[in-house]
Chain A
């Protein structure tokens, strides 16, 4: 292990040796794969009407999280901790104290859910004329559950993964919406490739069934309303449907994986990120073009998995970029899973690695003409992420020959 890494001249090859997926389409790789190929989409058009969300497919939480720990978490932490456990299972690392105790972790996270009933009650009481100086203090002191804070703190998803699964080498939490997920993988890859780390658990989680998040995105009119449509068919009524997913990957240096006999699913060859100055029209297209050229993408046939949100103008700008690569088969994960914000890039990387490992790209998800059949086994898949408001990223996932 590289406690005190020295500089290595050639970058170390980085493999994806584990994937954990718990999404609105189900739990585990088989369930998600089958649902994708069957064209399933799990949307709730009523529970949060007029807003549309993708609810998390229920699981037996106890399979991954001890009951007493579940009680300390809110949904977004349970989703993520559950998916992290699946990733460790998939990599054959569950319970391997030797490796887990030095495993690095980078989590892309937002914050935890508010107690909506407490907030609503306080606001109503204020509206009824309770406006003494100490009113808010008194209500917060008496109404907030003391442990709620820990279920809200961004870095406590990582904390819960450490507690439930024993991943306790290092732990870093990146925030900042979609691109936090890109940066999490960029840094984890760079650290392993540069000899600063051998193995890392990287991913994120998102619970889309949250009215407090709908409030935040409604400020910018970003929520998809009234009727579900695929991402590519939202131009007239742009927006995203919040999704629910936990997605974690185990990244590992090739020598470390080989030494323990781990089987790679795919190679993570490159992750790049940037921040377009979006005030200028065309900036996102230009940035995506530049990021593409920083990847070593062979000629078509190839595939692109994108986390395009359906928000505008960014989705149209991304389509202009995709038009430069018409020979590539495109898949929008946002249509299938909704928009899972900080977790979305991890979700897309998981889908790319899964597709590589299964020797096929999953079926197209809409009839707009953007997504076409792909008959060949993909050897390279480019993952694209352009945040609804800012931040762009891309990754190259490749088959290991």
Chain B
């Protein structure tokens, strides 16, 4: 007898998870540090910070990539997370994962060290862009062609892990990780596949990456001490902290997982997404798209707001995001809002941008497993306008049966996931 959800669809479960953040590699190391309230944010040492307004980030410095490229680091982090997830799931055989890959990855472009390399190849001064173009061909830089294709990270993961079919690389900005999971859930529900690999990776802490967000006034400038910079839901929050990391999940139909005797780590009960057309970087002031997104996730899971007993918030610590997340959540959850413990992992790991949705889904599933909610650190001056029950500074034991994980991004991207311990 096959197990279906309320809507007659295959139930989608998680059987493997892998994670890398600025706190460390692997679930065990990350979980220990998360519940201890440790920060992975540090002063940047990868490149000079002179002249920058923001000088700290959640860089992953313990994974050497030489010569350094952000896309190269994304690839390495993706490999680490996927390897851990597949090993835990115990599915397929080495280099032969029996399903498709959905990969959230940052947009790719040629980076400054490579641009400088071209300039040095030209030599002299007073050269034009055409002069740079003239030295590109002939095979000397052939590896950069592949390195800076948008599909290159997915290519590498697909080659190594033997995922099936055409791997999909996607971006929905800061919601990308959640979208990767949603694509996997949908494919399993359609019955196209019994198993999917959903991964998300981010390695974008480079000078231009930092400057771009800085010029949009999106980043915290509270550089000293770096560990205290990310202050979700605090009155004195002033922006997000860029960070690197990766998350990977093996999703399976409940039936397939049970049939092969796999351990079920949790259930992806519902997914919601809704576009905000108000502005490129700002949420609609009425919060309607966020409200609609959360309602769609609840409807997709067939759950009432009262059944959610923890929110893993988007909680970037930008003045605007945290306020709008509260407006949206409180509109949907009403009086129940204050009864839901809310926490933002970004207080500790920073904002892993393309990877955040997957990283935070994994932390949500670990929260369900351990019945312990990681804290929102640096929560010393609560914002009086945000009446969440923030799990401030210290981890909290709680009965957690269903977690909502929110992701909201530039370009009006909103996505919410609902994760549960058992099939509803």
Contact = CB atoms under 8 A, between A and B. Distances in A.
7 contacts: A4-B302, A162-B277, A190-B190, A190-B192, A194-B189, A196-B186, A391-B151
Contacts of A153: 107, 171, 173, 410-411
A127 B166 contact: no
Among all A-B residue pairs, the 7 with the closest Cβ atoms: A134-B50, A159-B411, A176-B151, A220-B145, A133-B48, A273-B166, A168-B275
A172 interface: yes
Nearest to A275: B166
Interface string B213-234: 1111000000000000000000
Contact of A172 (B48, B150, B179, B296): B179
Most buried by B among A173, A190, A393: A173
A140 B207 CA distance: 8
A327 interface: no
Contacts of A119: 115, 129
A155 interface: yes
A176 B296 contact: no
Interface stretch (B131-139, B304-312, B381-389): B131-139
Contacts of B275: 105, 158, 162, 167-171
B67 interface: no
A222 interface: yes
A148 B213 CA distance: 11
Contacts of B7: 4-7
B299 A138 contact: no
A166 B225 CA distance: 43
Given A4-B299, A180-B169, A175 B136 contact: no
Contact of B125 (A127, A150, A166, A179): A127
Interface string A78-90: 0000000000000
Contacts of A140: 207-208, 211
A152 B145 contact: no
B168 A124 contact: no
A148 B212 CA distance: 8
B258 interface: no
Most buried by A among B107, B125, B207: B107
Nearest to B182: A172
A133 B207 CA distance: 12
A218 interface: yes
Interface in A106-124: 110-111, 114, 116, 119-120, 123-124
A76 B275 CA distance: 21
B129 A174 contact: no
A392 B280 CA distance: 33
A144 interface: yes
A205 to B, nearest CB: 14
Interface stretch (A16-24, A208-216, A348-356, A366-374): A208-216
A40 interface: no
Given A120-B128, A152-B109, A215-B118, 19 more contacts: A5-B9, A72-B280, A111-B108, A123-B132, A136-B48, A137-B211, A140-B207, A159-B411, A159-B413, A168-B275, A168-B289, A175-B170, A176-B150, A176-B168, A190-B192, A215-B132, A215-B133, A216-B110, A274-B166
A158 B105 contact: no
A5 to B, nearest CB: 7
B294 to A, nearest CB: 13
Contacts, number: 262
A155 B215 contact: no
A134 to B, nearest CB: 3
Contacts of B276: 162, 168
A136 B299 contact: no
B149 A3 contact: no
Interface in B351-380: none
B62 interface: no
A389 B154 CA distance: 13
Interface string A123-141: 1101110001110111011
Contacts of A194: 186, 189-190
Contact of B151 (A4, A223, A390): A390
A137 B52 contact: yes
B396 interface: no
Interface in B144-187: 144-146, 148-151, 154-155, 158, 165-173, 179, 183, 186-187
A176 B48 contact: no
A124 B125 contact: yes
Contacts of B332: none
A5 B215 CA distance: 42
Contacts of B409: 155
A62 interface: no
B8 interface: yes
A391 B212 CA distance: 31
B170 A172 contact: yes
Contact of A211 (B127, B130, B412): B130
Contacts of A220: 142, 145-146
B48 A173 contact: no
Contact of B412 (A134, A159, A176, A219): A159
A250 to B, nearest CB: 16
B92 to A, nearest CB: 17
Given A111-B107, A137-B49, A167-B275, A275 B169 contact: no
B127 A179 contact: no
Contact of B212 (A123, A144, A170, A214): A144
Contact of B137 (A126, A138, A173, A218): A218
Most buried by A among B151, B208, B274: B151
Contact of A391 (B118, B136, B166, B192): B166
Nearest to A159: B411
A277 B267 CA distance: 34
A116 B129 contact: yes
Contacts of B289: 168
Interface string A253-294: 000000000000000000001110000000000000000000
A146 B49 CA distance: 19
Contacts of B189: 7, 194, 196
Nearest to A117: B129
Contact of B216 (A146, A154, A176): A146
A119 B208 CA distance: 11
Contacts of B191: 7
A364 B116 CA distance: 45
B170 A174 contact: yes
Contact of A177 (B52, B133, B151, B170): B151
B274 A155 contact: no
A221 interface: yes
B136 A182 contact: no
Contacts of A136: 48, 112, 207
A5 B8 CA distance: 9
Interface string B90-133: 00000000000000010111101001101110001111111011
Interface in A169-203: 169-177, 179-180, 182-183, 186-187, 190-191, 194, 196
Contacts of B126: 124
B279 interface: yes
Contacts of A389: 145-146, 149
Contact of A217 (B108, B120, B145, B211): B145
Contacts of B207: 136-137, 140
Contact of B214 (A141, A152, A171): A141
